A and B are shown apart, each in its own frame.
Chain A
Amino acid sequence: MTTENTGVRKTAGDDTAAAGKPPSVRPRALAWQRRRASAARFWRTYRTHRAGVFGLAVLTLFALPALAAPLLTGSDAADVTDAPGAPLESPSAEFPFGTDRFGRNLLALVIRGARVSLLVGLLAAVLSVAIGTLIGVTAGHFRGWYATVMMRITDWFLVMPTLVLAIALATVMSRSLLTVVVAIGVTTWPTTARLVRAQTLAVETRPYIERARALGGGHWHVMTRHVLPNVMPLVLAQTTLIISSAILAEATLAFLGLGDPTVVSWGGLLQDAREAGAVSAGHWGYLVPPGIAIAVVALAFTLCGRTVESVLNPRLGVSR
């Protein structure tokens, strides 16, 4: 059988790779071939989930204008001193969403806000998942007192009101996007850590880990070469889900006045609207676009995350 053949050759190649023999190229090519095949398989299953495809389409719809924002809106869209319209204008052909309290084009601001919201959401989620994965894998790999201490810390963070902690962090640090990313990132990792640890414990009982150890693989080798690839699918799904809550958290911090005051974000626009008295004046047009944008993007990431989760874990896929 060909599959058996390649399997044997792969293990042989793995161990001789360090010696630099010619066949060492082959297993790498094979690995890439397998990765491509599994990515294709993933996409084929993903495509069958309507909610996931919808979420992905919505995200593309938001990401493209956000990337092209400088071309679409001009660099001075966020400039308060040189606003093109009168304050709080109603929607018109020139300003499809009307203008904000400084007379700026609200559509342009929402497009520019997408950059900040998506960027902060992505970075915060990556930071959060990176911390969670690091702690999860190490706590699952090294048992004993290290794992006990780490899991106690994780449990403690898990019950803490995340937003309160993030607000406290953002209050004592200087107002910048980095602060917001850090505040969200260091408060949302515990769920990831627990999931990754559980998966690590499951992976570490498998025979090939024993084989790797028997062949002299150290902690670093086992964790990065064997455990990490196996927890990656979980990490991927978790990242997508955390982006959605990170975007909501960013909007919340900006709404509470803890964001970077020099950039335009969706939460900041809502704070502006509230301060301008748009609520009591019944000024709809100012409130609706940024809020819809936050909700739709957060929902799209949630849908994508749930789909990724159910594709990678078919047992959940049936039920959820």
Chain B
Amino acid sequence: MTADAASAPVEGTGAAGPAKDGPAARGPRVRTATAYPRYVAGKVAGAAVSLLAVLVTGFFLFRLIPGDPVKFMTGGRQVSAEQLAAYRREFGLDLPLWRQFTDYCGKALTGDLGTSYQFSAPVIDKITEALPNTLLLTGTAFVLYTALGILLGTRAAWRHGRLGDRLGTGLALTLYSLPSFWLGLLLIITLSVGIGPLPGLFPTGGMESGGEEGLAYVLDVAHHLVLPVVTLVAVEYGQTLLVTRSALLDEMGSDYLTTARAKGLRDDLVRRRHAVPNALLPTVTLIFINLGRTVAGVILVETVFSWPGLGGLFYQALSVPDLPLVQGLFLVFAAAVILMNTLADLLYPLFDPRVGR
């Protein structure tokens, strides 16, 4: 607290210009020039270790638990001993464990994640096919819920304890407690199927109606995108709101805000230029740490809305279960979250010059 208070006034006055180009406007620091590359190297090495750990987990999780993977693959069907042996050879399970592991790592690094039983197609092809659709859905939802959460969280903290704050926080907590798949089903039943006199306003699922081109196609996809995005935003914005709110509340007692008020700044300016930029720093970290939860939300929402993305594919793979596909998607989801977190770590010093020096 005292360390914060010491550096905070400097921080506040430094950011008195437009908050965004604050660090850049200060010009390069001599110490930053050597420290930032070291910081980057440390973070990248950490991410590499994490990715390796994901690879190892993927290997052991899907090969060694519990008992014979071939029996699991054949799912209790009648198979002769020769067929079992053929399966073993096909999947390289007759090799010693360390050979299996090195083969698996080598293949995974070159993008070969095996063949899906269900689709008889390379896992990597199924994944690259579905990836853009997931990115569209997740990206749209992520931008919207982050913006909404920060906006509402700031307002709630600035007027904390009042009716608006209590209602807003209560609503966020309630939506946060809803199972996302249930909210999705309810939205389909009210807005897609239609209830009473209300006609169906939105499609029940999928990503396109088919047959449209050009602008009509874009509008059609956007129309299909509405309900899944609304569902994701509704269940995820609460977390951002709460994080922003408590980060801003922590800042609100700080001396530099009193100084800013004392020099006659309007309340709005004190909030926008002094309090919020500082409160956003912990918020950014937590938003990225919580990405894991968003991945869970995406899986469920895509399942419910039959969105042709990675989450929907994961559900299809689970119901078989199509182990190579489950394993491949496990690697992709974990790697995506780790990469996003590393990216956030790398960008963080640009927002907060105190980090990474």
Contact = CB atoms under 8 A, between A and B. Distances in A.
Contact of B173 (A159, A287, A302): A302
A163 B186 contact: no
A299 interface: yes
Given A282-B195, A287-B182, A319-B249, A164 B330 contact: yes
Contacts of B178: 291, 294-295
Nearest to B51: A156
Contacts of B91: none
A161 B296 contact: yes
Contacts of A174: 66
Given A163-B293, A164-B295, 17 more contacts: A156-B53, A158-B289, A159-B289, A162-B296, A163-B296, A167-B318, A172-B72, A174-B66, A274-B185, A279-B188, A279-B189, A282-B193, A284-B195, A287-B189, A295-B182, A298-B177, A302-B176
A152 B299 CA distance: 27
Contacts of B204: 279-280
A299 B292 contact: no
B66 A159 contact: no
A270 B319 CA distance: 16
B293 A162 contact: yes
Contacts of A159: 50, 289, 291-292, 337-338, 341
A251 B185 CA distance: 14
Contact of A168 (B50, B61, B188, B195): B61
Contacts of B177: 244, 248, 295, 298-299, 302
B142 interface: no
Nearest to B193: A282
Contacts of A319: 160, 246, 249-250
13 contacts: A162-B292, A163-B293, A167-B299, A168-B326, A270-B185, A274-B185, A279-B188, A290-B182, A295-B177, A295-B179, A295-B182, A302-B176, A319-B249
B315 interface: yes
Interface residues of A, number: 47
Contact of A291 (B182, B193, B315): B182
A73 interface: no
A164 B182 contact: no
A255 to B, nearest CB: 5
B163 to A, nearest CB: 14
> Which of B49, B179, B185, B323 has its CB near the most chain A CB atoms (within 10 A)?
B179
A275 to B, nearest CB: 11
Interface of B: 49-50, 53-54, 61-62, 65-66, 72, 160, 173-174, 176-179, 181-182, 185-186, 188-189, 193-195, 204, 246, 249-250, 289, 291-293, 295-296, 299-300, 303-304, 314-315, 318-319, 321, 323, 326-327, 329-330, 333-334, 337-338, 341
Contacts of B289: 158-159
A171 interface: yes
A64 interface: no
A273 B174 CA distance: 23
A172 B176 CA distance: 29
Leading 6 A-B pairs by shortest Cβ distance: A163-B296, A291-B182, A161-B292, A161-B295, A299-B177, A319-B249
A256 interface: yes
A164 B318 contact: no
Nearest to B58: A168
Contact of A248 (B179, B185, B246): B179
Nearest to B62: A172
> Which of A244, A257, A295 has its CB near the most chain B CB atoms (within 10 A)?
A295
Contacts of B304: 274
B286 to A, nearest CB: 11
Contacts of B333: 161, 164
B338 A257 contact: no
Contact of B300 (A252, A280, A291, A299): A252
A273 to B, nearest CB: 8
A320 interface: yes
Contacts of B330: 164-165, 168
A180 interface: no
Contact of B174 (A172, A257, A280, A299): A299
A285 B197 CA distance: 18
Contacts of B303: 256
Contacts of A258: 318
B182 A270 contact: yes
Contacts of B296: 161-164, 252
Given A299-B174, A319-B249, A173 B189 contact: no
B57 to A, nearest CB: 8
B299 A164 contact: yes
B293 A256 contact: no
A38 to B, nearest CB: 26
